[in-house]
Structure 1
Amino acid sequence: MRGLLRLLLLLLLALPAHIGALADELRPGYLELTQASAVDWKLVWKAPILGGLATRASPQFPGFCTAKLATPRLSSGALVATGTMRCLQPLAGASVGLAGLAPGDTDTLLRIAPLGRPAQTERLLPGHASVTVNRVPDRWQVARTYFVIGVEHIVTGYDHLLFVVALVLLLMRGWPVVKAATAFTIAHSITLAGTTLGLFGMPQAPVEAVIALSIIFLAVEIVKAKADQPRLSERLPWLVAFLFGLLHGFGFAGALREIGLPETDVPMALLTFNLGVEAGQMLIIAAALAMLALLRRLMPAALRPAVAASAYAIGSTASFWFIERVWA
């Protein structure tokens, strides 16, 4: 057991060197088909430099369609190409997707917007690289797609993940953690919706830096915590989580800007994305509380040192992100 704890600690301490660039990444590929007339479509193809899409994958259309894409331009770490496509017959019932997807490649969001009908939104993955265009559009595809994106973002968006883990390590009890995490979700839902709908906004660079500071704050609170002297973050954890959640919502909004939102189903996409984030948070909380309970039962004397070591590792990682984002 002690050997396992040492290994976990080493892995935590190694985080800054390996996930600095991935702290808040939600950069799948994006393929959009927007119908302009009975036979003409507009195309947008975005392939991130990292993840394999830019070097291996290419859009694949039915044989009765002729597509023309302009030379790709580099934008925000991705190659972006726009163009047109002419199809001699309706696209409904045909297959659209990507050629060249390989295991481990970044997933791609496919959006098909026919004239006069709701858009179809799908995720393309290795092993599921093409889809059939709906004859009767299913609006619940948007719900399913953005719910999964929300879960993946909280699980693989490492700064948001570490914030939730830090909340667990600070409070150490199930119900207070759940209440604080729910306050966090409500807050980021407000700023995410407001930013997406154009009601307000903040520059992304300072937002990302302050998100890193929020994690540093929690790490310091964990280290300084005393059983007989509860700090503000322990007395009113939901308030602290709510205030920081407002900032994290701007970060989520930046992530959604990277992948785009369906024009006709923005409310559904926002709702299910937030539900996915909440579901992902609850999975993280359950896993972290289970690990703490196991440690408390098997090695109670090691609980506090393990929590303190984790807090230092989390704080060091967040400090690395803060410096990186300030100087970027």
Structure 2
Amino acid sequence: MPLLLFALVFIAFPGDALAHAVAEGDKGYIQEITGVNLISFLYLGAKHMVTGYDHILFLLGVIFFLYKMKDIGIYVSLFAIGHSTTMLAGVYFNFGINSYLIDAIIGLSIVYKALDNMGAYQRWFGVQPNTKAATLIFGFFHGFGLSSKILDYEISPDGLLPNLLAFNVGVEVGQLLALGAILIVMGAWRKTPSFLKHAYTANTVMMAAGFLLIGYQLTGYFVV
């Protein structure tokens, strides 16, 4: 079960896997450059998404039981609209949320989706939440997570808007690359008998990873 092993690695190495922030080397680069640097910000955006394990885990949860490309496209687009809107607006209008708190909410989004995949809400409350609305709303929070990090690095106002747009395009490119890899693995796994047998376990591990992220970030909030 490759996806289950991925989640186990996430739990086993929290110091690396929970790193939602932009890398230190990239941080220094962002602080030093001025003017329009489209290629650089395009690269940074793609790199952040591909290495953003919290984003990838949520994306995995969203498409876990989606089989039709049309449905996958709708949900991924809702997620992209959500995080693009708040990332761009948050940085451009200089509005950020405490990084630890927003990352804890991102961890909550992973827990929420894993429970949704496990049918928990129907069993507990007898209702099924609107999955499209949830994907969009949590997308907003994922975007705030990124905007809060960028604001911490005091990006130059010179060329801000085109650089942000390039960064956002990079994020979407990275998301498509991550999604492609997930779909390849999921496609192969779904053809085996172990998929339905272990789907519940995989979502349980995903939920545990989300709780770990929540605890890690709340600890940072109250201790640091």
TM-score range for the pair, normalised by the shorter chain length:
0.7 to 0.9
Structure 1 or 2: larger helix share?
2
What one-letter code is carried by the residue in structure 1 that aligns with 2:137? L
Paired residues in the alignment total 215
Confirm whether residue 315 of structure 1 aligns to residue 207 of structure 2: yes
Q: What TM-score do you get using the length of structure 2 for normalisation?
A: 0.83
SS of aligned partner of 2:194: helix
User: Which of the numbers 166, 171, 182 marks the counterpart of 1:272?
Assistant: 166
Q: How far did residue 191 of structure 1 move?
A: 1.5
What one-letter code is carried by the residue in structure 2 that aligns with 1:224? G
Structure 1 or 2: larger strand share?
1
Tell me, in whole angstroms, the C-alpha distance in 2 between the residues paired with 1:11 and 1:246: 25
Tell me, in whole angstroms, the C-alpha distance in 2 between the residues paired with 1:326 and 1:190: 25
SS of aligned partner of 1:29: helix
Higher relative contact order (CA 8 A, sep 6+): 2
Tell me, in whole angstroms, the C-alpha distance in 1 between the residues paired with 2:132 and 2:3: 29
Tell me, in whole angstroms, the C-alpha distance in 1 between the residues paired with 2:108 and 2:208: 11
Q: Structure 2: 5+ residue runs without aligned partners?
A: none
User: Which of the numbers 106, 117, 128 marks the counterpart of 1:231?
Assistant: 128
Q: Is the 8 A contact 2:97 2:148 kept in 1?
A: no
Q: How far did residue 174 of structure 1 move?
A: 2.2
Q: How far did residue 18 of structure 1 move?
A: 0.4
Tell me, in whole angstroms, the C-alpha distance in 1 between the residues paired with 2:33 and 2:3: 44
User: Which of the numbers 83, 86, 108 marks the counterpart of 1:188?
Assistant: 83
What one-letter code is carried by the residue in structure 2 that aligns with 1:305? K
SS of aligned partner of 2:21: coil
Tell me, in whole angstroms, the C-alpha distance in 2 between the residues paired with 1:145 and 1:260: 16
Task: Indicate the structure (1 or 2) with the bigger Cα radius of gyration.
Answer: 1
Q: Structure 1: 5+ residue runs without aligned partners?
A: 32-45, 47-107, 114-118, 120-138
Moved over 6 A (4+): none
Root-mean-square deviation over aligned CA pairs: 2.6
Tell me, in whole angstroms, the C-alpha distance in 2 between the residues paired with 1:259 and 1:202: 14
Q: What TM-score do you get using the length of structure 1 for normalisation?
A: 0.59
Q: How far did residue 146 of structure 1 move?
A: 0.9
Tell me, in whole angstroms, the C-alpha distance in 2 between the residues paired with 1:159 and 1:262: 27
